[in-house]
């Protein structure tokens, strides 16, 4: 860290986006992080966006993230129950935590990647970042068609409540609402002084009941 790096507790309520996808995703232009970058600008924010392909690049960008002093880190990538994936590398949760050691204190991490909302990921992160605020990520596999509207809606709700901070009173109902709307189950991890690392699960409840869906499907299309 350089002499100009701000203290960890001094953060700016802005979004730092790191994206890394497969070559097939790139060809299909499924750049979720880039879409969110543009949407956040529409909301009046000043986001920063980096596209990477390797673990080596992730290590370098992690230092830039810390130097900028941004409070919210958003990672758009593929993943599984034990690792984050860049275009060319698999990054185990413990490796990711080491790369971001002491860089996530007083900050929130949002990950848009399949099945990364795991207890072992949270434990690895909090072990290296004692003052980290939270980790929010999907519990199961997800699709781009779900995650893009989910995150854009969630960030809209956060901004509409308070553009300078995110608090649990706004985070929890917003996560549940977006989980229901876009059929995604999210896990939100945080550290409690009394209980240690704990979490809240926001399980998708279908917007339409089975009976309502059957009625909709049976309706005749009107011209």
State the burial class of residue 113 (Cβ atoms within 10 Å of its Cβ: 0-12, 13-18, 19+).
buried
Q: Evaluate whether residue 6 is within a structural domain.
A: no
- Regarding pTM above 0.85, the answer is yes
pLDDT of 4 reads: 74
Q: Evaluate whether residue 140 is within a structural domain.
A: yes
Q: Evaluate whether residue 86 is within a structural domain.
A: yes
Q: Evaluate whether residue 190 is within a structural domain.
A: yes
Please say if the pLDDT value at position 3 is more than 70: no
**CB environment 173-212: b (16+ within 10 A), e (fewer):** ebbbebbeebebebbbbbbeeeeeeebbebebeeeeeeee
Q: Which helix (H) or strand (E) is 108 found in, with range? A: strand 108-112
Which two structure tokens, joined as six digits, stand for 117? 């909302």
CATH of the domain at 197: 3.40.50
> What interhelical angle do 168-182 and 144-161 show, nearest 10?
150
Residue of 4 and 217 predicted with greater confidence: 4
Radius of gyration from C-alpha coordinates of the chain: 18
Q: Evaluate whether residue 3 is within a structural domain.
A: no
The residue segments making up the domain with residue 205 are 12-218
- Tell me how far apart the alpha carbons of residues 64 and 72 are, in angstroms, rounded to a whole number: 13
- What is the domain count for the chain? 1
Please say if the pLDDT value at position 223 is more than 50: no
Q: Evaluate whether residue 195 is within a structural domain.
A: yes
Cβ proximity of 192 and 200 under 8 Å: no
- Encode pLDDT of 121-149 as tens digits: 999 999 999 899 999 999 999 999 999 99
């Amino acid at each position: 860290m350089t002499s100009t790096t701000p203290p960890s507790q001094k953060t700016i309520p802005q979004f730092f986006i790191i994206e890394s996808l497969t070559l097939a995703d790139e060809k299909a232009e499924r750049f979720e992080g880039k879409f969110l970058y543009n949407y956040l600008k529409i909301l009046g924010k000043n986001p920063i966006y980096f596209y990477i392909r390797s673990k080596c690049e992730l290590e370098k960008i992690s230092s830039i993230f810390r130097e900028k002093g941004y409070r919210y880190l958003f990672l758009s990538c593929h993943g599984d129950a034990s690792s984050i994936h860049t275009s060319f590398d698999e990054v185990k949760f413990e490796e990711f935590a080491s790369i971001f050691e002491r860089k996530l204190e007083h900050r929130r991490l949002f990950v848009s990647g399949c099945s990364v909302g795991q207890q072992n990921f949270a434990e690895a992160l909090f072990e290296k970042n004692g003052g980290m605020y939270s980790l929010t990520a999907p519990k199961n596999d997800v699709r781009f068609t779900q995650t893009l509207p989910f995150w854009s809606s969630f960030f809209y709700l956060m901004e509409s409540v308070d553009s300078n901070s995110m608090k649990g009173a706004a985070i929890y109902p917003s996560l549940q609402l977006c989980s229901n709307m876009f059929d995604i189950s999210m896990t939100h991890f945080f550290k409690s002084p009394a209980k240690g690392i704990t979490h809240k699960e926001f399980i998708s409840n279908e917007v339409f009941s089975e009976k309502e869906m059957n009625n909709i499907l049976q309706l005749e299309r009107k011209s």
